[in-house]
Structure 1
Amino acid sequence: MDISAVEEILWFCLSASTITLVAQQLNSKPLVFGWSFYCLGLLLDIFDNFVGHTIIPVLVLDTSLKSIGFVLVCYGMLRLLSSKKVTIAKLNLEIASRKQLEEKLRHEAYHDPLTQLGNRKACFTQFSTLSEQYQWLYYFDLDNFKQANDTYGHHIGDEVLKKFALTLIEQFDKECVFRLGGDEFVAFSNLSPDECKELRALINPDLQQYQVDVSIGFAATDKYQEPDKILQMADNKMYKDKSRTSSRSRSAQAKPT
C-alpha cells in the first residue's frame, strides 16, 4: 500500500465521520448529498488502488464523484450562509422592534399620557438632579377644575389640562415640568417668586373662559432635603395662595354691579 492510498483512506475516514456526526443536525440536503458523493468518490479511489479500474470500470468515476461532491458542498454552504443572513436580518428586526417597545414602555412609565409631561415617578426620579440645577420648585393647582370638568364635560377638562401644560412648557423647560396627577403640576426654575408674579397673568386668560383659576406655591430647592419635604412646603404655600385666590373671588362677586 503506497502513501497515496493511506492518505485516501484517512480522508475517507474523516469525511465519513464528519457526515455521520453532523448529518442529523444539518437541514441542508445539498451539503449531505455533497459530502456523500465526495465520500463515495474517495471510496472508489481506495478500491482503485487495490483493484484497478481495468477490472471494475466504474472506479474511473472517483474523480467525477469527488468533483460533484465538492460542487454540491459549496452550493450547500452558500445556501446555508444565505439562510443565516435571512435569519440574522429577522433577528435584527426583532431586536429593533423590542428596543422600540422598551422605549415606548419606558416613555409611558415616566410620562403622563394626556399632557406628555413627565409624571410623578419621573419627577421623583429626577428631583435631586434638578434641585442642583434650579433654585426654586413651583407648585401649581387648578382651582375650580372639577366644577369646569363637570359643567363643560371631560373633553373640555382634558383641553384645559393640555392647554395649561403647554403654557407651563412655554414658560419653563419641558424637562423641568411635571404633572403630579389630577390638576396638580410642578416646575423647577431659577426665576424668583417675585419674577413669577407675572406668571399668573400669562396663565389665567386661557383658563378663565372656563372659570378656572390657578394657585401657585413655591419652595427653595435643596439637594440635601427630602423631595417629599420640599414638595410639602411648596404645597403649603400653594394652599395659602388658594385661600387668597378664593377671598379675591368672593370679594369680586360681592361687588355691586
Structure 2
Amino acid sequence: MPDLSTLRQCSFLASAAYAVVFLVAAGGRRAPWMRWWALSSASYCVVLLGYASLGEPMPVWAAAPLNGLLSLSTAFILAGVRSLDRRAPFARWMWAVVAATAIVPAAAIVLPGEGAMLAGRLLLALGLAVGMLAFGWPLAFSHASDGSRAMRQTAGMALLCYIPCYALGAVGEVVSARAVPYLALVPMLADQVLLSIANLSLLAIPGMRSERQLQEIALCDPLTGVWNRAALAANEAVLRVPGRVVLLIDIDHFKAINDHHGHGVGDGVLVAIARALQRGAAGDFVCRLGGDEFLVVTTADDAAAVAERLRERASRPVADLPPWSVSVGLARIEPGDATMADAMQRADRAMYRAKDAGRGRIAA
C-alpha cells in the first residue's frame, strides 16, 4: 500500500498540472472562471505542502488554518461556476463556511485535558465534510439549462464523494488510534480518482455550454429570435403528436409593406409579430418558416380560441410601423400523418381560404 507522503506528492503534481492547464485555458481576461479554477488547484497545492510540513499526527492549531484553506480551494470551484453564470463569484455564506472550517476546530484547544486533541481532530474532519457538502451540493444538484448540467453534477458528486472518506477518518479517531494512519490514507487514495473527475468535468463545462449556444443559434431565426425550419425538423418527432393543432400564420399584403415602406420596416413588422406570437403562445412551439410565414404548434384543447387570440395579438398596431393584418389556417395533426408536412399542407389550404374570405381572419 502506498504511504501518505507518496499519495500527497501525486495529488500535488496533478493539482499543479491542472492549475497550469486552467491558466492556459483562461486566455487572458476572456475566461475568468478558468482563473478561479486555477486558483483552486494552486491553493490545494499549498494545502498539501502545509500538511506535509506538519507531519503526523498534525497539531490541531496548525491544521485548522490549512483546513480553512482547503475549504477555500473548494469554494473557488463553485466561484468559477458562478462566474461562468455571470453571478458574483462569492456569496457571503461561502465566506462564512470557509471561516467556520478554520475557526471551529482551532477553538477546541481551549478544552481541558486530552479530550481537546480528540475533539479538535474530530472537528477537523467534520469541517472538511461540511465544506465539501456546502460547495459540492449546488453543483451536484444543478438545474442548469445551458447544456453543462451533466458535467456540473459530475464535478459536484466528485466533491461529495470526499465526505465518506473524511467520515472514516473521524471514525478512526474514536475507535482506535492504530487505525488512524491507515484511515488517513483513504481521502488521499480517493483523491487520485476524484481530483481528475472534478477537474476534467470543470474543463468540459464551458465547451458544452458553447456547444449548446451554437446549437441554439443554428436553430433560431436570426431576425426574429423564434425557432426556424431547422428547429422544426429537429423537433418533429416530439411535435408530431395526433390531436395537436398546427397554426399557419401569414402576413396579408406583406409585399406591399416592403414595396411602400422598405425592407427595414418589413423586418420590423416581422419582429413585432414574432414577439406577439411568443407572448401569446403560452409555451407552444413558435417557428418562422421563412419570408412572412410563421407556424405555431399548440397543445391547447380549444385551438380555435388560441388561433383567434394569436391573430388579434399579431395584428395589433405598433408605433412607427404601418398597420397590417394576418390570416391563420388551422389543421389538426392526424394519426395517419407521416410527417409534419401533411398537417402543414392542410393548414396552408385553410390559410388561403381565410385570405379568400377577406383576410385578417382564421379558417380551419
Structure 1 and Structure 2 fold alike (TM over 0.5): yes
1:227 to 317, 321, 340: 340
Tell me the equivalent position of 1:19. Answer: none
Q: Is the 8 A contact 1:139 1:218 kept in 2?
A: yes
Counterpart pick for 1:192 among 303, 309, 313 = 303
* Residue 246 to residue 170, structure 1, CA distance change in 2 (3 Å): closer
The one of 197, 200, 212 aligned to 2:324: 212
Distance 1:85 1:199, change over 3 A: closer
Kindly name which structure, 1 or 2, has the bigger radius of gyration based on alpha carbons. Answer: 1
- For 2:12 and 2:279, the matched residues in 1 are separated by 59
Matches within 5 A, 1:33-112: 80-81=13-14, 83-90=16-23, 95-112=204-221
The separation in 1 between residues aligned to 2:251 and 2:22, in whole angstroms, is 51
What is the match of residue 240 of structure 2?
Answer: 131
- TM (norm. structure 2) is 0.42
Contact 1:135-1:220 at 8 Å conserved across structures? yes
Contact map agreement 1:127 1:227 (CA 8 A) in 2: yes
Question: Do 1:215 and 1:245's aligned partners in 2 also have CA atoms closer than 8 Å?
Answer: no
CA contact (8 A) 2:326 2:359 kept: no
Cα deviations across residues 45-102 of structure 1 (Å, max 9, x unaligned)? xxxxxxxxxxxxxxxxxxxxxxxxxxxx9xx989844541223425667644432331
Give me the CA root mean square deviation.
3.4
Unaligned runs of 5+ in 2: 1-5, 26-199
**Structure 1 residues 244 and 207, CA gap change in structure 2 (3 angstroms):** farther
Q: Is the 8 A contact 2:242 2:335 kept in 1?
A: no
Q: What is the TM-score of this pair, normalised by structure 1?
A: 0.57
CA distance in 1, matches of 2:235, 2:297: 11
Question: In 1, distance between residues paired with 2:230 and 2:348?
Answer: 18
Greater Cα shift, 129-138 or 104-113:
129-138
Instruction: Look up the SS of the partner of 2:235 in the other structure.
Output: helix
- Residues matched between the structures, number: 177
SS in structure 1 of the partner of residue 330 of structure 2: strand
User: Which deviates more, 192-201 or 154-163?
Assistant: 192-201
Question: Runs (4+) of structure 1 moved beyond 6 Å?
Answer: 76-79
Provide the identity percentage: 28
In structure 2, the residue matched to 1:54 is: none
Is 1:238 the counterpart of 2:351? The answer is yes
Question: Structure 1 residues 169, 81: CA separation in 2 closer, same or farther (over 3 Å shift)?
Answer: closer
| Other-structure match for 1:44 | none
Q: Which has the higher contact order (CA 8 A, sep 6+)?
A: 1
